Structure 1
Amino acid sequence: MNVLLGVTGSIAAYKAAEITNRLTKMGHNVDVLLTESGSRFITPLTLQTLSKNKVYMDMFEEIVPSEVKHISLAKKADLVLIAPATANIIGKIAGGIADDFLSTVVMAAANHTPVYIAPAMNTNMYENPIVQENIEKLTRLGYHFIEPKASLLACGDLGKGALADVEDIIKTITEHEI
């Protein structure tokens, strides 16, 4: 399975290394799309080493001049996973905004490729009515959500918003393979 893994700017971004490593060891190809904010929490080198693939961040980097990379990655993908997904990326996708590599690839892939979103954010952000409306809208449009768990969050708050367990994320997306 060709998995596109989107990694956004959440403290849970470090768990993307485990997701990448586990999927790669299971024999899946993982192409990582790292947002600018995500790169503040985990380095491209870590994800590149684990995936054995280039990590994509810059939509305008010419890798193969004859290839439109966000389109070719979208066509290649069997599944898109955004883990962790911030309120920002959820809002962008719900609003049809494609202003970075990840959001552009999702817009190109979503009509023919399943997209799984694993939110990770503070409880107050997750429970914000706007975020919940965006999640409901995307669910109606066929996007799949992997629910965050209740936990002691990095900010010290206790509540729902922590990234789902890596085991649950892997199980959810690999069951899609059927």
Structure 2
Amino acid sequence: MTKTVTLAVSGSISAYKAADLSSRLTKSGYDVHILMTQAATSFITPLTLQVLSKNPVHVELMQEENAKIINHIELAKQTDLFILAPASANTIAHLAHGFADNMVTAVALALDSGIPKLLAPAMNTKMYDNPITQANLQLLKENGYQEIEPRSSLLACGDVGRGALAELDVIVKKIEEKIHE
């Protein structure tokens, strides 16, 4: 039986890496459904991810194409594993505090508690190390999320430090481990 991976993409320069991640997961036989925040669409187009995943990409929360289906609820029901990569500070904060104001956070809140939930932060070092972001990450961990920690690197802003999206090999390995538990 094909497993469904719901890949949520939030607004970070690392959003372009979602294309490679989606492609790798699709080629590995997963049914990949992609959710994007509006900010993510500034970094990569939904069409790119649609072509690579071979599924529609969901951006608008209130865009219901079938009146008999509540899209974010149905997507949550189909999910075998949820991953937010890249996870921006903004989306992490929204998830930690229960906001459901976009497709990513609405689907995440509608997930069954037994669904594996991963997040791979990507942001400036100071944003990642900020006590508020760390508290939000801790709250998510207490509620069933597992963090794939960012790596130290030269960041897009020119700073050097922890905050770069984890290597895709690390992310794919973690997805495979969690989905086969």
Query: Do residues 95 (structure 1) and 97 (structure 2) align?
Result: yes
2:58 maps to which residue? 56
1: CA distance, partners of 2:39 / 2:112: 22
Pick the aligned partner of 2:143 from 132, 141, 144.
141
2:81 maps to which residue? 79
Pick the aligned partner of 1:21 from 15, 18, 23.
23
Query: Do residues 45 (structure 1) and 47 (structure 2) align?
Result: yes
Task: Please tell me the residue identity of whatever aligns with 1:138.
Answer: L
TM-score, L = length of structure 2: 0.96
2: CA distance, partners of 1:9 / 1:129: 20
2: CA distance, partners of 1:62 / 1:173: 29
How far did 1:59 drift? Answer: 1.1
Unaligned runs of 5+ in 2: none
1: CA distance, partners of 2:112 / 2:168: 23
Pick the aligned partner of 2:6 from 4, 7, 11.
4
1: CA distance, partners of 2:7 / 2:32: 7
Task: Please tell me the residue identity of whatever aligns with 2:21.
Answer: I
2:130 maps to which residue? 128
Q: Report if aligned partners of 2:120, 2:150 keep a CA contact under 8 Å in 1.
A: yes
**For 1:102-121, what aligned pairs fall within 5 Å after superposition?**
102-109=104-111, 111-121=113-123
1: CA distance, partners of 2:81 / 2:120: 13
Q: Secondary structure at the residue paired with 1:50?
A: helix
1: CA distance, partners of 2:119 / 2:60: 21
How far did 1:136 drift? Answer: 1.0
How far did 1:176 drift? Answer: 1.1
- Deviation string 1:60-107 (CA, Å, 9 cap, x unpaired) is 112111000100000000000000000011101111111111100000
TM-score, L = length of structure 1: 0.98
2: CA distance, partners of 1:47 / 1:141: 29
1: CA distance, partners of 2:33 / 2:43: 18
1: CA distance, partners of 2:46 / 2:179: 27
Task: Please tell me the residue identity of whatever aligns with 2:121.
Answer: P
Identity of aligned residues (%): 49
Pairwise CA RMSD of aligned residues?
Answer: 0.8
Unaligned runs of 5+ in 1: none
